Structures are given as C-alpha cells and as structure tokens.
Amino acid sequence: MPAPEEPQPAVGIGRERQFEIYVGGARGSYPTVPVSFERLERGAQKSMSREGYAYVAGGAGTEETIRANRAAFERWRIVPRMLRDVSVRDTSVEVLGTPMASPFFLSPIGVLEMAHRDADLAVARSAAAEGVPFVFSNQASRPMEETAAVMGDGPRWFQLYWSTSDELVASLVSRAERCGCSAIVLTLDTTMLGWRVRDLDLAYLPFLRGRGIAQYTSDPVFLEALHETLQQASPPAGRISLAAISTLWEMAGSYPTRRLEGLRSGLARAAVRRFVETYSRPSLSWDDLAFLRERTRLPILLKGILHPVDAVAAIEHGMSGIVVSNHGGRQVDGAIATIDALPGIAEAVAGRIPLLVDSGVRSGADVFRALALGATAVGLGRPYVWGLAAGGAEGVREVIRNLRADFDLTLGLAGVVSAREVGHDNVTRV
Ligand SMILES: Cc1cc2nc3c(=O)[nH]c(=O)nc-3n(C[C@H](O)[C@H](O)[C@H](O)COP(=O)(O)O)c2cc1C
C-alpha cells in the first residue's frame, strides 16, 4: 500500500475501462455487448422485431441525411499535440446548471419499448449510474414520473412536442418540473412526421398501436379530453379483420389499465384516436414561444435548429440553449448534416448560450470534433437504443461507459486535459 501522501498514478476512466475489458478477457470474460458500433447494431437487430428495428434505424426518404451526418464528422480530422502532460484529465462539463460527467447526454428517443420491455426505466437507471443526463421523450414508453423515480438525483431533462392543446403542453411541463427535470427541450423539427420509407413499406407506426404514448395516457388533461373522445367514438365499422383485432389487442396492452378493461371500455382505442388528433401542430411559430416561456422557470432549449438566423432568433425569444439536430436524418431527407451546420451557428451565437448537437455521434472522436467546432456537449441517440436492445440496462450502461472511456482517451491522446479546452485548433477539415 502506498503512503497516503504519495501521488497516485492517475488512470482516468479511459484506462480503467480498457484494463477492465482486457483483464476480463485474460480471465475468460468478454464484454456483454459489442464495443464496435456496427457489431452493436447488428446484435441489437437480432433481438428486435422487424418493425422495431426499421423504426429505430430508419430515416427519411433515401436516408441521405443519415449518411451525410457521418460523412460530415469524417471530413474533420483531429490534429493531436504532443508532450503536454495529459496524466490528469477532466471530461466533465456543465450545461445550464446540469452537471455532466462526460460532455454528452442521452437524446430523447421515443417508443423505447420496441428495443426492450424495461424501456425508459432501464435507460434511466444506467444514465443515473454514470452521471449522464437523460432527456425524457415526449413519446416515451413510460410516464415520466416512473422514469424519474428510478434515477435518484441523476440529471434529467424533458423533451416536449407542442401539441394542438396548450393546456396539455402546460400540464406536461409542470409534471416535468415536479419530476426534477432541470430543463425543457422543445423539439421543433417534427410538427409532422418525415417520409420514412422503411416504416411506410411495413405500414407500421408504433403510436397507432398504442405504443409510445405513455406521457399522454398518464396526463390528467389528456385523460379528461379522452373521456370526451370516448363519448363521440363509434365502434369500428364493417367487418373486423384478424389484423385489426390484433392491433386492438396491442393497443389495449399498452393502455394503463388491465388489458381486457382497456379493450372493453374502448379507452385504449380512444386514446390512440385522441393522440392522433392532438399530437401534431404544424402551425407552430416563433410567437408561440412566449406562452412556454411564461409557463416555466426552467431553461428552455430549442432542438432541431440548423440555420444561424434561427439560432439568433432563439436567443431573442429568451431561449437558454440550442440543440443543433436533424433528428438523426429522420425528418428532412437531404437536410444539412449537423456538423456542417454547427460552425456557422457557433459563430452567430458567439458563446451567448450553450450549443448542443446530435445526429450521427458514434465515438469519442465524434464527441471531441463536435466540441472543437463549438458544441458544449453532444447528444447520443441510436447507439444507446442498440445497447438497450442487446442487453437491457446493462447494455445501455456498457455503451455509456465505452463512450466515456473512448472520449477520455481521445482527449488525452490529442494533447488536451479538459473537455472545456477543446477548440478549433484541435481539428482541421480535409
Ligand atoms: C427511434 C427514434 C426515436 C426518436 N424519438 C425522438 C423523440 O421522441 N423526440 C425527439 O426530440 N427526438 C427523437 N429522436 C431524435 C433523437 O433525439 C436524436 O436527435 C437522434 O437520434 C440523433 O441521431 P442519431 O441517433 O443518428 O445519433 C428519435 C430518434 C430515433 C432514432
């Protein structure tokens, strides 16, 4: 045992994780989920339904934007610096008062039940254990109260879709406040669903099966309106096919009463109908933001910003941050890659509010490059869903730990000791 005053060799999370894996191998135990992103996705695919995999993996149209997100990262190269004593590294950042153990958070992903039955709860447990913020989706599979309850003090934000009912918007936001969420992320890019070819080919949309609507079916405002819908609802017309019966059965399984009761009362079907009527608000405009600003004391971030002029407008409308995002290529096919949009937005924003970015982040090098181009932190999307599908909460935890380790090593090997010090000098465009 070294004397307490003797300096301990700093290892950092990167080296700890590497050695854990290598030493495990020497003893005959191997990572529970693949470390490589490609193998992780292939493994996840095997454990998911055809529809579930298509829903998560797919994008809009020809999926050009999914590819563009990756290509944009790959055009930026890290230029490592040498002899800079990188033995002690600090990967933490803080965004709007929320501490992040590493400069990334889990982006909001709806319908996680398609990856694993523990869905949001599994993700929440793992995020909290690693000190990584989890952004609860408006389209979650579990009510935010249940998800928050498994997180202890773990950092969390709430992502909002602005529905046709302002009353519902206000209700969701006040529930998020009570759940300990420390920011609201308003997603702007999904006022309508993009043209998602994989889902269209399978004629499958999870919400129409009652999946991913738990924030609604647990909301008092939604439930009140639901009873009105129920009174107007007519029984399904004409002959009912076997497929329709199976859909009704699926809907009832997702409704938070006993399955038979949900079916018999008509509530499960009415909830889906009411959701479809409420969900989308294409008329949303900048003037609406004042309503939200008045309803909460929490910082509000706008997700889906891709143009510098919109970024400046966000500041002018009292918004506290921006998530530069193209929704993982799921909305506008041919949209600009977020890493291509980031430098112009960073210049326009000039450090006035934090800039977050997601879409295409797959490695520690991607996190590093995003920080170099002006992001304060990045959002992780599909990779944690693949971890969830492959190994439940443990799978998510492995994905998070691997990304934290990968970033820590990339940071040090690039010659930088703090996530806050990564700058434009550390990268070059090829
Ligand atoms: C299956 C799936 C569901 C998603 N659901 C939501 C959602 O409910 N709300 C939201 O703001 N973004 C949602 N997104 C977008 C993510 O928050 C994030 O922007 C995107 O996944 C980033 O791209 P990447 O996964 O390729 O890294 C979803 C993405 C996927 C893949």
H or E element: which one contains 413? Answer: helix 382-413
Of 107, 114, 163, best ligand 1 pocket probe by most atoms within 8 Å of the beta carbon: 107
Using the mean position of ligand 1's atoms as its centre, give its distance from the Cα of residue 54 in Å: 13
Percent of the chain with pLDDT over 90: 88
Report the nearest-CA residue for atom 6 of ligand 1. Answer: 109
Q: What is the mean pLDDT of residues 316-345?
A: 98
HSE, CB side, 13 Å, CA atoms: give it for residue 192.
Answer: 6
Mean pLDDT of the chain: 95
Of 104, 109, 157, 384, best ligand 1 pocket probe by most atoms within 8 Å of the beta carbon: 109
Copy the structure tokens of residue 378. Answer: 């990045």
Give the per-residue pLDDT at 243. Answer: 87
State the catalytic residues.
327
Q: What string of H, E and C letters represents the secondary structure of 356-394?
A: EECCCCCCHHHHHHHHHCCCCEEEECHHHHHHHHHHHHH
Q: Does the C-beta of 109 come closer than 6 Å to ligand 1?
A: yes
Q: Does the C-beta of 402 come closer than 6 Å to ligand 1?
A: no
pLDDT band at 241 (very low <50, low <70, confident <90, very high): confident
| C-alpha–C-alpha distance, residues 396 and 388, integer Å | 5
Q: What is the mean pLDDT of residues 360-374?
A: 98
Structure confidence by residue, pLDDT tens digits, 33-63? 999 999 999 999 999 999 999 999 999 999 9
Q: Does the C-beta of 139 come closer than 6 Å to ligand 1?
A: yes
More confident residue, 101 or 227: 101
Q: What is the mean pLDDT of residues 11-26?
A: 95
Copy the structure tokens of residue 210. Answer: 């009652």
Give the per-residue pLDDT at 236. Answer: 64
Q: What is the mean pLDDT of residues 121-150?
A: 98
Q: What is the mean pLDDT of residues 379-388?
A: 98
More confident residue, 127 or 247: 127
Using the mean position of ligand 1's atoms as its centre, give its distance from the Cα of residue 285 in Å: 22
Using the mean position of ligand 1's atoms as its centre, give its distance from the Cα of residue 218 in Å: 22
| C-alpha–C-alpha distance, residues 197 and 62, integer Å | 8
Q: Is the pLDDT confidence value at 12 over 90?
A: yes
Q: What is the mean pLDDT of residues 297-324?
A: 98
Q: Which atom of ligand 1 is nearest to the CA of 361?
A: 27
Give the per-residue pLDDT at 1. Answer: 45
| C-alpha–C-alpha distance, residues 55 and 380, integer Å | 17
- Any idea what DSSP says for residue 301? E
Q: What is the mean pLDDT of residues 22-37?
A: 96
Q: What string of H, E and C letters represents the secondary structure of 202-213?
A: CCCCHHHHCCCC
Give the per-residue pLDDT at 244. Answer: 85
